[in-house]
Structure 1
Amino acid sequence: MISFNYENDFKLPNETQISKWISSVIVTENCKEEEINYVFCDDDYLHKLNVDFLDHDTLTDVISFDYSVGKTLHGDIFISTERVADNAKDFENTFEEELHRVLVHGVLHYCGYKDKTDEDAKLMREKENFYLNTLK
């Protein structure tokens, strides 16, 4: 089950469509969907999580807490809508395009993809682009 939660004024306008899309990504990656919670928040909220739980004193757009067991996916994905908006400007994307990228990025981590090395980051970006093209 995919759920969307809000810690700021943002509201995802198309929850059902996005939920179905994320579910299709999970199935395509040969994984099983359990409980995946998306939490939309602001920079301060996500920064505090980054400092408190990951010991990183930086701003970021997405943090995933993965509780998956094997290919059974379960976890919490926190997204700063402020950071998404700033990144959209920096990368010359729309807010919606950048938001969709971080939505799928979080679940791809649960599917086993990493992004710490250049090679892993390249594969992650290819997967993101592939799945972004499947969203109608």
Structure 2
Amino acid sequence: MLNFFTENVDFDLLRPLKTKKWIKNTSISEGYEIADLNYIFCDDEYLLEINKQYLDHDYFTDIITFDNSEEDNVIEGDIYISVDRVKENAATFHADFETEMRRVLIHGLLHLMGYDDTDEKLKAAMRAKEDQYLLLF
């Protein structure tokens, strides 16, 4: 099951059915099955509180991913996305908002599939995967 929710933000994802299909196809192509995945769109303050409470970080971020998976190659998790940060990132990177939102959607999914971005080499590999899947939307 793949769900989209909102918390503390007035936001409607454009083309939600196409987006769900794209996310599911991405997971399948990586050899994963989505059992239970929730995307929660929120504002900066909401995500800041999650960042403080669960990660002990006191700063804004665009995405926080919680992996609840108990089986290999089965995705269960919650992905929180700050709509405020995505808007700011889109402006910073001279991208349109919808493209940047899709990048963040896939970024969280890639984390749940074991991709990491803790150093420059891993970050570059993850960005290449994001670009690959953005082209398939």
Q: TM-score scaled by structure 2?
A: 0.97
RMSD: 0.6
The aligned runs of 1:81-92 (5 Å cut-off) are: 81-92=83-94
Residue aligning to 1:14 = 15
Q: Show the counterpart of 1:5.
A: 5
**SS of the residue aligned with 1:56?**
coil
Confirm or deny that 1:55 pairs with 2:72: no
Percent identity at matched positions? 43
Aligned AA for 1:61? D
In 1, the alpha carbon distance for the partners of 2:80 and 2:21 equals: 19
Stretches of 4+ moved more than 4 A in 1?
none
Matched, 1:72 2:74: yes
Q: Secondary structure at the match of 1:10?
A: coil
Q: State the secondary structure of the residue aligned to 1:99.
A: helix
Q: Does 1:103 align with 2:105?
A: yes
Aligned residues: 135
The normalised TM-score by structure 1 is: 0.97
Corresponding residue number in structure 1 for 2:46: 45
Q: Secondary structure in 2 aligned to 1:48? A: helix
Look up the equivalent residue of 1:11 and give its one-letter code: D
1:19-69, Cα deviation, whole Å (9 max, x unpaired): 000000000000111100000000000000001000111110010001123
- Flag structure 1 segments of 5+ consecutive residues without an equivalent: none
